[in-house]
Structure 1
Amino acid sequence: MKNYILNKKYWASITIIVMMFVSMLFNACDNNDSSDGGPITISKVFLEDVNSSVPDREVSFARLGQLIRVEGTGFTGLKKVYINGFETYFNVVFVSDTSMLISISKNTPTIDADPAVRNTIRFVNDSNEAVFAFNIRSAAPKIISISNTMPKAGEVITVSGTGLTEVKKVVFPGNIEVTSGITSDVKGEFFTVTMPAGVSAEGGSLLVESANGGVYSPAYFNFKKGVILDFDGLGSHGYWGSGTSMIQPADLLSTAAGTGNVSQGKYVPHRPARIASFAAATNRCSETWTAGNGVDNWRAQLTPYIPASTPLDQVALQFDIYVPTAWTNTGFLKICLINNFNGGEWTGATYNYVPWITSEGKVVPFQTTGWQTVTIPLNKFYSYSKASFIFDDVLKFREAATYQNFGFFFENSDVKLTNVTGQASEAVFASSATSVSVSTDNWRIVSLKTPTYSDFPN
């Protein structure tokens, strides 16, 4: 005979169901009689969540789709319940005179509810009604991207995601709070905020508080400890020989560029001024490297902040990019974890960044008005995309390499759509000569670890 051990959460859920059923069994019939019902009072609301350590928790708010238990008096004869003005179904089997269960419909309006009834629950019988103030939130907010994760103080950034409605506070690394000058999209798809002074150079997550609750960003904001090359003293620029493709110090630019988020000191133009255009069907048109052997030491620099045991999908390369004119139909950046590639590869420890092709396979010209951040998880690099790896696998690979330089090529060969999207396709984008201007700066390795935000931190 098998032994079954029931965990605490299971027992908690069974206990709640049994107690509710017993307490309601003696009263359910009253809800089906012709009684007009007496006065209604509401005292408390509880969130019912069998997956929580507190499965029956008194709360002051709940989210769409959640089950709540309402305590009060006079529920006998209850006919209607309106949440934010939305008539909400309830099962009379789970109604007693002093308690009831009701699920908040996902169709309930939240920020678009009539202000007169927003954040209220209205209970109605034939002769009486009661309105109880109670906060109704949409699904928990989510941050998908940040337009620039290493801006200057005073610059405006855009945080994109879902559920980011009525953002009232943003806490930057270093516990720097911003509560003014925040502009929220009415649909909750983004908000803008100004970068304050004093943000920690060790970086971390943004904490965002909105009408739908709080949410953290990944821990990649202002992570200057992770910079491997910024052309201004963090990291070392490597270069050698006199070939046309090699980006030399004289090729770097320092003139102010961009609107909104502007350039920060020196940066690299991947088509330097001495090259008028790149020919079609050519690879390694330009190349920019870190110094490599004896200088680059990712393990010593990064593992105090990003443990070597971190899953590779939680570690990313970030860089800032500026493309003032439309980039489309030809050309891409090849990112190389080591210096051991000739160009044209779609395999190995490389990743080809083709921003003018969307994940759906559509061509959309790529252009920026200012500098914006690109984030590429390291498990997107081809050598690491087919199985699970940890950060230590990348560190060991680089440490074993003959040439440990990290770098970028600008390439201008034909692009097979299947190589970009991973989906079967015969489509090929034939290359053409291009004089597109693409610049990058602030190459860095960052953590994608995202702290968990709890509505009930206790």
Structure 2
Amino acid sequence: MRNLRITYIFILALICYSFFSCKKDSSSSSIQVTGIWSHSRNTETTQISSIFFNNWIRIHGNGFTGLQRVYFNGTQVPFIPIYVTDTDIIINVPETIPTGSDVADQTRLNTIQLVTATGQTSFEGFIFRDPDKIPSISGISYTMPYAGDVIEIYGKNLKEASVITFPDSTKGTIRSANDSILQVIVPENIDRQKYGRITIDIDNERYSSAPYMFFQNGIFLKTFTEEAMVAGGNNGIRIYSNPADIAALTGLQHNPENVIAIPATKTDIPVAANNGISGNFFKFYAYKAFNTLIEKNGDIKGTTSIENLAIQFELYMPSPWTSGAIPFKMNKNRSGVNYAYLYNITAWEWKKLVSGGVELNPFKFDNGWKTITLKFSDFPTLAMSSLKDYSTSLQTNGFESLVGYVNYDLNEDGHTPQAVKNFQMYLANFRLVPLTNLE
């Protein structure tokens, strides 16, 4: 009987041992990631949701003992065993892992996978960032569009954009996307009186344009009858203010309210002899135009640095722009290459080919009106100053300003100008716009 009791106790003890032993094994096979933390000597440790390449992170959780493999975005990455405990993994993010659309299996995008001897787990929503793929916006094709118009956002690494937001918080529709250009349809309920930045969302980060979208407070030439216009200074141009007449010119549904046509009628423009202007231009006093804005003391003030400003205007041509330039002359008496008071606007370009030759890349108006942006910093040798000081210098020098069309090798870069058939261009809404937030 005693032996039977001992045997029973032994069996009971064995069962209890087996139970607790199995419970311990089950616990050790449970892997969980609870968060990702920064790990740098130079910064305070914080919980993070993204990281750039070549930085260290700490993966926190439990069950990491027996770690065998680590995957970032589906790609296996090396780890150092002595940097692994049951609750933490300190690991470097290598620059060899794919990101964005380069991840072969998109279900593995923004994931961390851990595999141990007893199981595996996946942590989702952590973004690996390639510094060479940081998105940026360099410009916008048309900054005064209407609902339904198609605009283009220019920049770098744009193709992953998911949301386009206009200054009034309405969302645009992405029509097409690649790394350098986003085509966006302007929303139907857009508020054109609300100016500011266009923003794009990519991988839970927001990137923005300069704050000049729909900026109308800086318009200084709209009707082309303003006091700033030089009396008798127009030559070979025509001003249109009737919407039906403007629509007949452009063939477009949406147009600016007032348009100046250069030349007055469609004309063949030969290559100019002696580097002369075509004879089609209008003149104005830039200092009078700028002083009008200064006196309003609105968003743009006399104290605003011209380094933070640009000149914008709308441009449309019925045919692609292939030759010639629009000289923006602060001093009408100076021609030739760019200098402090002259900038020759040429949106077309000659592209160098691998073969050694060149190829003409026309400036096209497929989606309608374009906005030309001319920064004051683009004028060579122009000293940056306040708008008031700059305007005063123009007035002191007695400069008349001029905008027109020329067709010769104006920048002396050796390309061959071309005669232009049936030429006419339309311009509108000359204005100053901010490149940065205004004080």
- Shorter chain as denominator, the TM-score bin is 0.7 to 0.9
The question of whether the paired residues in 1 share the 8 Å contact of 2:337 and 2:411 is answered with no
CA gap of 1:181–1:399, structure 2 versus 1, over 3 A, is: same
What residue in structure 1 maps to residue 363 of structure 2? 366
Q: Distance in 2 between matches of 1:109 and 1:66?
A: 15
Q: Counterparts in 2 of 1:266-277, with a 5 A limit? A: 266-273=258-265, 276-277=268-269
CA gap of 1:141–1:308, structure 2 versus 1, over 3 A, is: farther
Q: Counterparts in 2 of 1:388-427, with a 5 A limit? A: 389=385, 391-403=387-399, 405-418=400-413, 427=414
Cα displacement (A) at 1:170: 3.2
What residue in structure 1 maps to residue 143 of structure 2? 149
1:436 paired with 2:423, answer: yes
Q: Counterparts in 2 of 1:250-289, with a 5 A limit? A: 254-258=246-250, 262-273=254-265, 276-278=268-270, 280-281=272-273, 282-285=275-278, 286-289=280-283
Q: Select between 77-86 and 274-283 the one with higher mean Cα deviation.
A: 274-283
Question: TM (normalized to structure 2)?
Answer: 0.77
The question of whether the paired residues in 2 share the 8 Å contact of 1:256 and 1:262 is answered with no
The unaligned stretches of length 5 or more in structure 2 are: 1-27, 353-357
Cα displacement (A) at 1:85: 0.6
What residue in structure 2 maps to residue 76 of structure 1? 65
Deviations 1:216-256 (A, max 9, x none): 111110001111212378x557254488x353547996234
Deviations 1:10-64 (A, max 9, x none): xxxxxxxxxxxxxxxxxxxxxxxxxxx8543211112346776xx3221334455
What residue in structure 2 maps to residue 337 of structure 1? 330
Q: Aligned-pair RMSD on alpha carbons?
A: 3.5
The unaligned stretches of length 5 or more in structure 1 are: 1-36, 419-426, 452-458
Q: Number of paired residues?
A: 396
CA gap of 1:116–1:306, structure 2 versus 1, over 3 A, is: same
What residue in structure 1 maps to residue 93 of structure 2? 104
Q: Distance in 2 between matches of 1:118 and 1:450?
A: 35
1:126 paired with 2:117, answer: yes
Q: Distance in 2 between matches of 1:397 and 1:214?
A: 40
The question of whether the paired residues in 2 share the 8 Å contact of 1:261 and 1:372 is answered with no
Secondary structure in 2 matching 1:220: coil
Deviations 1:146-178 (A, max 9, x none): 1211101332222232343454433322x3322
Cα displacement (A) at 1:205: 0.9
Sequence identity (%): 22
Q: Distance in 2 between matches of 1:116 and 1:230?
A: 53
User: Structure 1 or 2: larger helix share?
Assistant: 2
Q: Counterparts in 2 of 1:237-316, with a 5 A limit? A: 238-241=229-232, 245=235, 247=237, 249=239, 254-258=246-250, 262-273=254-265, 276-278=268-270, 280-281=272-273, 282-285=275-278, 286-290=280-284, 297=291, 299-300=293-294, 304-306=298-300, 308=302, 310-316=304-310
Cα displacement (A) at 1:125: 2.2
Q: Select between 248-257 and 107-116 the one with higher mean Cα deviation.
A: 248-257
Pick from 95, 107, 110: which aligns with 2:84?
95
Secondary structure in 1 matching 2:263: coil
Cα displacement (A) at 1:391: 4.2
CA gap of 1:120–1:345, structure 2 versus 1, over 3 A, is: closer
The question of whether the paired residues in 2 share the 8 Å contact of 1:343 and 1:411 is answered with no
What residue in structure 1 maps to residue 25 of structure 2? none
Q: Distance in 2 between matches of 1:44 and 1:274?
A: 67
CA gap of 1:295–1:351, structure 2 versus 1, over 3 A, is: closer
CA gap of 1:322–1:75, structure 2 versus 1, over 3 A, is: same
Q: Distance in 2 between matches of 1:359 and 1:450?
A: 35
Cα displacement (A) at 1:97: 2.8
What residue in structure 2 maps to residue 25 of structure 1? none
CA gap of 1:156–1:191, structure 2 versus 1, over 3 A, is: closer
Q: Distance in 2 between matches of 1:149 and 1:377?
A: 15
CA gap of 1:364–1:200, structure 2 versus 1, over 3 A, is: closer
Q: Distance in 1 between matches of 2:227 and 2:364?
A: 28
Q: Distance in 2 between matches of 1:313 and 1:362?
A: 34
1:206 paired with 2:203, answer: no
